[in-house]
Every structure is written in structure tokens, then in C-alpha cells.
Amino acid sequence: MIDQLIQHWPLIVALIFVGGVAGLTSGLFGIGGGAVMVPALFFAFSELGVPQDIVMHCAIATSAAVIILNASRSTRAHHQRDAVDMTLIWPRENWWQSYGLWIGVGAFAAAIWIAPRLSSAALTQIFAAIALVVALQFIFGRPSFVLRHDVPRGPAPMIAGGGVGILSSLMGIGGGSLSVPLLSLCGVPIHRAIGTAAAFGLFIAVPATLGFIISGLGVAGRPFGSLGYVNGLGFALITAAAWPMVPLGARLAHRMDATLLRRVFGICLALVAINMARKTGLF
């Protein structure tokens, strides 16, 4: 193991750098950093000889585990600035209309049942296309444009929340790439949308990580130090680097102009979409 660590020291350094960037983006945009971590982990595990049929599972699962800590710290930082809508996370009445609940249900179902059975290529391309459209709206659209002036209730938490949880879990991301645009289109101010999305990321990452641990138990070819599909070495390196960067990102988010923040988020989301499409061989 020591020889492997010495041999792959450039990858270790790269993972530490990626962890710092992931922590910064988690606090700044509420996106958990998975869009940065998953490609880096995929490359690292591929270089270490992890079989191609499980390498993406390991990358996504490890990313989800890191997002638990990133989202937790990001949520706390945004909550201190009253930027987390707790009525969406877990309403005191009608708990079954909790977006957090259904996001978590979707994330767990995807990790334990869908991911082990389906290729993620088609879902990645669909998600990339949707994310790119949303990103263009954030960059070029009118900041005042909304579809409605409140977040829908009724069956919406089950449908929209479950969908966000499923897609986010399959992609190893914190869900901000989906939930921030959805909240903004429902009239939620951008800073509050980002803070609430950070909390959604926690509801995604915890059940997703648990699901990937269970579904990956006993699978051959996993990298050394793995529990299920979650790799301990990648988790430790990225977490250590990301931890001090999350509150810095949250502070920057609340100092930036709302219009500028929308455009910066849109550009980042577009880059995520293009990278996802590239990974599937779409271009």
C-alpha cells in the first residue's frame, strides 16, 4: 500500500487540490462539489487499476460520502445567515410534504437499486442537456423571471424532490445543480436558494452513501480501503482539503451581488454539463 501511495503521489496531490476546490464550490454555490470530485476520482481509480465496470460506482459513492461533510458545513454557514428555508427542508406540519424527505428517499433508492442495475451514460446525457439549458437561463435570462411566486406543495415534493434525489445520487453530486434553478424559478432569492440547496445536499448524500455502501459490499475489484463502493483514502484526502474551504465559499456567496452570483453559477453549471456530456463520449 505504501509503495502504491508513493507511486501515485501526483494523483494524491491532485485529489487534495480537488478537495479544496470542491469545498469552495460547496459553500459558494451549494452544489456539494461532486461535479469536481467525480471526474477526479474516476481518473484516480482508473490509474490504480479499478475495473471499468465499477470505477464510476466507486467515484460516485466516494463523492457522495465527501458531500456529507461539505453539505453539513455549508448548511451551517448559510443557516447562520438565515439563508436556509427550513419549511422546505422539514415542515412542522404535513411532514409528508417535506422536500428533504423525498429527496432522501430518491437518493437511497437510486444508490441501492437503480445504480447497480443501469448504465449511467444515458442519464448523464439527459442531465447534461437539462443542466445546460438551465445554465443558459441563469447566464442570459432575466433575474426577475419566475414561473411562480411560491414553491409548490401537494404531490410536488414527492415528484420533484424524488427526481432530484435520484439524479443527484446517480451522478454523485449534491443536488444544487438542479435544486438551485428550481427554487429560483419558484421565486426564491438566489442566496436563499443556494443555502437551501446546501441543506438538500445533506439529504442526498447521507442516504446515497448508505445505499452505495450496502450495494457495493462484496463486489470484486474495489480499491484498497473501501467500504462498499466508498473508498476511504479518496474520502480522507478530499475531506481534509475541503473542510477549511467551505465557510470561505459561504462568506464569498453573501458578499457577491445577486446578479453576478447568478451568472457565475450559470457558467459553473454550464461547465459541469459540458464535462458530463464529454465523459459519456457525446463529443
Confidence of residue 112 (pLDDT cuts 50, 70, 90): very high
The answer to whether 145 touches 40, Cβ cutoff 8 Å, is no
Structural domain harbouring 121: 2-279
Q: % helix / strand / coil in the chain, to the nearest 5?
A: 75, 0, 25
Nearest to 231 by CA among 240, 222, 239: 222
| Burial category of 219 from C-beta neighbours within 10 Å (exposed 0-12, middle 13-18, buried 19 and up) | middle
Between 180 and 105, name the one with better pLDDT: 105
Q: How far is CA 107 from the centre of its chain?
A: 11
DSSP for 100-126, please give it.
Answer: HHHHHHHHHHIIIIITTTS-SHHHHHH
Query: Measured between alpha carbons, how far is 170 from 100 in angstroms, rounded to an integer?
Result: 17
* pLDDT at residue 109 is higher than 60: yes
* pLDDT at residue 146 is higher than 80: no
The answer to whether 200 touches 103, Cβ cutoff 8 Å, is yes
Distances (CA, A) of 85 to 78, 125, 191, 225: 10, 31, 11, 38
pLDDT value for 235: 92
Query: Measured between alpha carbons, how far is 83 from 76 in angstroms, rounded to an integer?
Result: 10
**Of 48-52, 123-127, 213-217, highest mean pLDDT:** 213-217
Return the C-alpha cell found at 147. 414561473
In this structure, which amino acid lies at residue 162?
Answer: G
Between 281 and 100, name the one with better pLDDT: 100
pLDDT value for 205: 94
Query: Measured between alpha carbons, how far is 56 from 270 in angstroms, rounded to an integer?
Result: 21
Calculate mean pLDDT across residues 235-247. 87
Nearest to 24 by CA among 260, 270, 279, 248: 248
Residue 30 DSSP symbol: S
pLDDT value for 210: 96
- Three-class SS state of 274: helix
Of the chain, the end-to-end C-alpha distance in Å amounts to 37
Calculate mean pLDDT across residues 223-243. 89
- For the chain, how many structural domains are there in total? 1
Confidence of residue 228 (pLDDT cuts 50, 70, 90): very high
Query: Measured between alpha carbons, how far is 141 from 263 in angstroms, rounded to an integer?
Result: 9
Return the C-alpha cell found at 253. 456567496
pLDDT value for 282: 67
Percent above pLDDT 90 for the chain: 21
For 82-94, the pLDDT digits (tens) are 889 888 888 877 7
Residue with the three cell numbers 430518491 = 106
Among the residue ranges 56-60, 62-66, 138-142, 165-169, the one predicted with the least confidence is: 138-142
In this structure, which amino acid lies at residue 155?
Answer: P
* pLDDT at residue 274 is higher than 60: yes
Confidence of residue 102 (pLDDT cuts 50, 70, 90): very high
pLDDT value for 103: 94
pLDDT value for 111: 94
Query: Measured between alpha carbons, how far is 13 from 125 in angstroms, rounded to an integer?
Result: 30
Percent above pLDDT 70 for the chain: 89
